[in-house]
Amino acid sequence: MLSAIVLVLVLSKAACGFIVTLDAHESMCFYDHANVSDKVTVSFEVMEGGFKDVGVEIAGPDDDRLHYSKQDTLGSFTFTAMKEGRYQLCFDNQMSTLTPKILMFHFHVARAIEFYMESSKRGDDVIEQASVQSMINQLSAKLGAVKMEQEYMHFRYRGHLEVSDMVELRVLAWSIFGPMMLIITAVLEVYYLKKFFEVKRVV
């Protein structure tokens, strides 16, 4: 039972994503620590705003640039940490002058299998087999990708729902406003024709 709880906690932590808003000319950076041979996974997707593109930079310890792009809409990167230290993920909206961008991303560090083989480095006594932890890492990465896709689809659904509600409101308003304008126009025409054909008598 305890091992199942730990498994759920590990998967929940790995599968969590973040949604941020980048204003025009704004930059945001996020950090995580990795040991040598750890697997670092980064995935992102711009959900809304302008041309749906942002600048992306991934850097390792000592500011070693691992990836850079001025305009990316989505991407997924997995690499092995060659140095121990703080790894950095930065997004910027420098190309946009007015439009903010809504961005969803995952930034996850999976420990290398050697980390779990040494009991002195392992923080728990529940998972005894390193191969089990390796499978958990792989499964959590896949769950993270699925969760990210679900969050993106939910975000799109909310956007389409708002558009649908707005269209429905406009149709309802026009169904009321249209007949009223027709009645007013008919009354004015009758009044105008009546005045036009009215014969004035001069006494």
- CATH code at position 9: 2.60.120.680
3-state secondary structure 153-168: HHHHHHHHHHHHHHHH
In angstroms, how far is the first alpha carbon of the chain from the final one?
A: 108
Look up residue 23 and give its two tokens: 């204003």
**Is 115 within the bounds of a domain?**
yes
- C-alpha 110/C-alpha 154 separation (Å) is 27
- C-alpha 85/C-alpha 40 separation (Å) is 12
**Is 169 within the bounds of a domain?**
no
pLDDT digits (tens, 9 = 90+) for 84-96: 999 999 999 988 8
Is pLDDT of 9 > 60?
no
**Is 15 within the bounds of a domain?**
yes
- C-alpha 112/C-alpha 27 separation (Å) is 31
Is pLDDT of 51 > 90?
no
- C-alpha 76/C-alpha 154 separation (Å) is 20
Is pLDDT of 6 > 90?
no
If one compares 187 and 117, the residue with the highest pLDDT of the two is 187
Where residue 14 falls among pLDDT bands split at 50, 70, 90?
A: very low
pLDDT at 124: 53
**Is 59 within the bounds of a domain?**
yes
pLDDT at 52: 84
Average pLDDT along the chain: 79
**Is 168 within the bounds of a domain?**
no
Domains contained in the chain, number: 1
Which residues pair with residue 59 across a beta bridge?
A: 65, 88
Residue 13 is part of which domain span?
Answer: 2-157
pLDDT digits (tens, 9 = 90+) for 28-40: 999 999 998 888 9
pLDDT digits (tens, 9 = 90+) for 148-174: 778 778 777 887 888 888 888 888 888
Q: Concatenated DSSP letters for 63-95?
A: G-EEEEEEEESEEEEEEE-SSSEEEEEEEE-TT
> What value does the mean pLDDT take over residues 115-135?
60
pLDDT at 3: 40
